[in-house]
Homo-oligomer: A and B are copies of this chain.
Amino acid sequence: MRQSELFIKTSHKAPSDEETEGAKLLVRGGFINKEAAGIYSYLPLGLRVLENITAIIREEMNSLGANELLMPVLHPKENWQTTGRWETLDILYKVEGHGGKWFALGPTHEEIIAPIAKKQISSYRDLPAYFYQIQTKFRNEPRAKSGILRGREFLMKDLYSFHTDEKDLEKFYAKALNAYKRIFKRLGIKALLTEASGGTFSKYSHEFQALSDIGEDEIFYCKACGFSQNKEIAKIREGACPKCGKGEIQKSNSIEVGNIFKLGTKYSSPFAVKYKTKSGEELEAVMGCYGIGISRIMGTLAEINRDNRGLLWPEKVAPFKLHLIELKKGLATKAYKSLQDKKDNILYDDRDTTAGEKFADSDLLGIPYRAVISQKTKGKIELKQRNSSKTKLVSINNVKKLL
C-alpha cells in the first residue's frame, strides 16, 4: 500500500488523555482513535493488526474442531433473568427498545449460546459440541483506562464447549489450554498460565497473564517453573516455589490476555440444556468457556514491544512486513511494483516529505523491516530490522526472499 493513500497521519505529540506508553504510541501512530473513555475506532493500520491477531486465533479454534458463529450484541433481558445476572452483573449496559423491551449489550454470551445449544442437543450423540465467535463485547466499566487494555467496547474471541460429563470436558479443556499456549507463542506473548478464582463466572479457572508493570492484575509466580497464581487466591506469596521447589516466588503486575473456565452446569441448568444418555436417562450438559481479548492483545503487544522511538510489532501481527522508503520522489516505485504480491505486505512511503520525517514515522509505526532506496543505494536496497541498528545493502531479490 502507498502511504500517500493511507489517509491517516502520524502525530508528533503524545495525546494528553492516555496514561500508558503503548496507548500513546497507538494513538500517535494512527492505529486507533479515541471516541470516549474505553471506546476506540480502529484506523486502517490498527484494523490490520487486529485482523492478523484474529487470523491466528481463528486458525487455532478451527484446529480444535470448533465451529464459528456470530451471536448478537443485543441480548433479550429474559435470557439474563434466567441466569439471575440481569440484576447481579454490575457492568451490564441496559437499553430499552420499542414496546418496553429491554436488552443487555452482551459482555459475554453464555446467555445466548446455551439456548442455541439446547435446540441442537438432544442425545449423547450430539455431544461434544464446540462453538466460537469473534464479537464485540461491552462492559460498563466504572473507570476505563490504559487505552484498549480495558475497554468498555472491545473485541473478543469466545469459545463454548458442551459435554456429556466432566471427564469429557477435562479432555477438551486440556486441548483448549494447549491451543491457547500455541496462540500466545505465535503472537510473541509470554503468557503465564495462572490459577485463579472464577470471579462472576465459575469456581475454578485458568488465566493467561502477561507480565507488565501497567497490568491491573497481580500474580505470584515462579520464574523457574512458571507456576503462577492470581493474587485473589495466592496463599504462597514468598519463599520457595511450592511446585518445583527450586525457584523463588515473585510478585508482578500483569495483563490478563485470556482465560478458560470449567462452567459445569451453571448455564446448562437454568436453560435446561439436556441430553439423553445411551440408557435413556436425561442429564444436563457440562460446559466450558474460553475467552481471549483480541483488542486487549493488541494493546498488550503495544505495551511490551516498544522503545523510545515507537512500536515494534512482531512479524505475524505487524500491519505490514516491510516499510519501503524512498528518499526521492518516485525512486522506489519500480521496486514496489516488483515486490508487491497478493498479501499486500509492503507499506510504500511515497510521500513528498523529508527523510527525517520518514524515518521517524517508520520507527513509530514499528513495521519489522525497513527498506530504503535513495540515490546513494545505487539500485540496491538498504535493509534494516526495526529492532536493530545494523543496516545492510541487499539486492531486490534478497528482499523478495524475505517476503
Contacts and interface: CB of A to CB of B under 8 A. Distances in A.
Interface of A: 5-9, 33, 35-36, 39-44, 46-47, 50, 65, 67-76, 79, 93-95, 97-98, 101, 103, 105, 112, 116, 119-120, 126, 129-131, 136, 138, 140-143, 152-153
Given A73-B153, A93-B95, A35 B67 contact: no
18 contacts: A5-B65, A6-B67, A7-B129, A7-B130, A36-B103, A41-B71, A41-B72, A42-B70, A46-B69, A47-B68, A47-B70, A72-B153, A73-B136, A73-B153, A74-B152, A74-B153, A98-B142, A98-B143
Contacts of A69: 41-44, 46-47
Nearest 10 CB-CB pairs, A to B? A7-B129, A44-B67, A42-B70, A95-B95, A41-B71, A36-B76, A39-B72, A72-B153, A97-B140, A43-B69
Given A36-B76, A42-B69, A153-B73, A105 B95 contact: yes
Contacts of A130: 7
A245 to B, nearest CB: 44
Given A7-B131, A116-B41, A136-B73, A141 B98 contact: yes
Counting every copy of the chain, the complex holds 2
Which of A46, A70, A71, A112 has the most B CB atoms < 10 Å from its CB?
A70
B116 A33 contact: yes
Contacts of A5: 65, 67
B119 A36 contact: no
